Amino acid sequence: MQTMTMQAESMVRLQKSQLAAAAEMLARAFLNDPKMAHFVRDESRREAISRHILEFELRYGMRYGEVYATSPGMEGVAVWLPSAKAEITFWRAMLVGALKLRREIGPSNLQTVLDFSDYVDKVHRKCISVPHWYLFFIGVDPAHQGKGYAGRLIRPMLARLDREGLPCYLVTENEKNVALYEHYGFAVVDRSTVPGTSVSNWAMLRKASR
């Protein structure tokens, strides 16, 4: 029923055969994102390396949560995780290709990702301890930004969470996204700088409306 509801809102569940295309689109979407810029300082290599990182994260989302695209045309993609699976533990990571990712991006880049993720997880645990869903990430192809695709990815899930009485949590490292998420009912509950970086981290929470 939940999947049918999501499809009725012009969303489709991402399939394994679409992983590569989704990762390529997301790498373009996040090319200038502060987090990805920190992960890969060399802009000439950023898109290629971030594609591997994002494919790994998509695999994680497909195994432990729900991943939706706006359409087979892949204008946008969103990854949602239940709170019980929000933290990418060692064994969960191994099951979705952590060793492959290490070979693809190198141990140094992987350690940078892990250190960053550890801090984000700590903030997450501090901000909310009750069952909820986590908007792990959402990306829209640069060629389709500003056309309402983000809303098509966000609204159906928030409506579902309202019916289930569950809050939703997210983080963003891009200040311009804060107002976007506030439009959907999220409020900033924590703002900090990720240790050892110049990257700001906004943690945002949306309570269920019912």
pLDDT digits (tens, 9 = 90+) for 146-183: 999 999 999 999 999 999 999 999 999 999 999 999 99
pLDDT confidence of 209, banded at 50, 70, 90? Answer: confident
What residues contact 73, with CB distance under 8 A and at least 6 apart?
Answer: none
The sheet carrying 200-206 orders its strands as 12-13, 66-69, 76-82, 133-140, 168-172, 200-206, 187-193
184 part of a folded domain: no
User: Mean pLDDT for the chain?
Assistant: 94
Tell me the Ramachandran region of residue 121: left when phi exceeds 0, alpha when psi lies from -120 to 50, beta otherwise.
alpha
Judge whether 20 lies within some domain: yes
Residue-level pLDDT at 1 = 38
Q: How many separate domains does the chain show?
A: 1
Flag whether 53 is in a domain: yes
Residue 190 falls inside a structural domain: no
Residue 193 falls inside a structural domain = no
Asked if residue 210 is part of any domain, the answer here is no
Domain that holds residue 13: 2-168
Instruction: Report pLDDT digits (tens) over 69-106.
Output: 999 999 999 999 999 999 999 999 999 999 999 999 99
Q: How many CB atoms lie within 10 A of CB 206?
A: 23
3-state secondary structure of 120: helix
CA distance 68 to 138: 9
More confident of the two residues 6 and 80 = 80
pLDDT for position 72: 93
Any domain includes 186: no
Residue 85 inside a domain? The answer is yes
Token pair 């350690």 is at which residue?
111
**CATH number of the domain where residue 82 is located:** 3.40.630.30
